[in-house]
Amino acid sequence: MKIYSSDGAKIIFYKGDKFLVYPGVYEPAEDTFLVADHLEVKCGERVLELGTGCGILAILAAKAGAEVVATDINPVALECARVNAVENGVFGRIDFRCGDLFDPVRGELFDTIIFNPPYLPVEPKEKLNEPLELAWDGGKNGRRVIDRFLNELSLHLGPGGRAIFVQSSLSNLSKTIQFLESNNFEFKTVNKKMFFEELFLFQCYRR
């Protein structure tokens, strides 16, 4: 992976694929690449990516042959993702929708749901009040968005569906595990140690 600057936007390369990252759009980092490195989707699957950002994960899924819906609350991120989809030749395989979490896909089911949520604990006094902050601000305990996601997850997974999402060790990992176990999910994790936290990639399957 290499990062360069170009006219205010950054250019990121992941395994030979090129992605623009506009100012005000979350820049793919270790959490994004942890998902990308373990992302396996089948041709013909219906995939949902929540919070697509620059679109890298949605585009990788589309390149694998999936039919993808990609959402984001940030309109600038969606425009950036559309441009990247065009540049990577998969624009016709991705349906981009603006909205918060599952709001744009009410009543729809998916084979795979991907989410790199805002998971960092942020005290009110630490808030920057910038749109980009939504990409990492998980509220005081880091779980404001994760809990909303988990509570609605089963409503949007089809039979045999699965979810792939990231969480930090800073945002009460045991609560997520307890939720998954009590809601009949089988799951496995992959972890990556960072400087001040540990990232966990959850791969969850409906029983």
Label residue 174 by pLDDT band (50, 70, 90). very high
SS3 8: coil
pLDDT at 170 over 90: no
Domain count, the chain: 1
Give a yes or no: residue 100 inside a domain. yes
Region of poorest pLDDT, from 57-61, 118-122, 188-192: 118-122
- pTM of the entire structure? 0.89
In this prediction, residues 155-164 reach a mean pLDDT of 95
- Tell me the pLDDT tens digit for each residue of 135-151: 545 456 768 889 999 99
Cβ atoms of 199 and 73 within 8 Å: the answer is no
Q: What is the CATH number of the domain that holds 166?
A: 3.40.50.150
Residue 115 lies in a domain: yes
Calculate ∠ Cα 58-102-175, nearest 5°. 95
Q: CA 8, CA 23: separation in Å to the nearest integer?
A: 7
pLDDT tens digit sequence for 119-137: 554 555 544 455 555 554 5
User: Token digits for 206?
Assistant: 């409906």
Domain residues for 155? Answer: 28-206
Percent residues over pLDDT 70 in the chain: 86
**Is 3 inside a domain boundary?**
no
Q: Is 13 helix (H, G, I), strand (E, B) or coil?
A: strand
**What distance, in Å, lies between the first and last C-alpha atoms of the chain?**
36
Return the DSSP state at 171.
S
Q: Is residue 98 included in any domain, yes or no?
A: yes
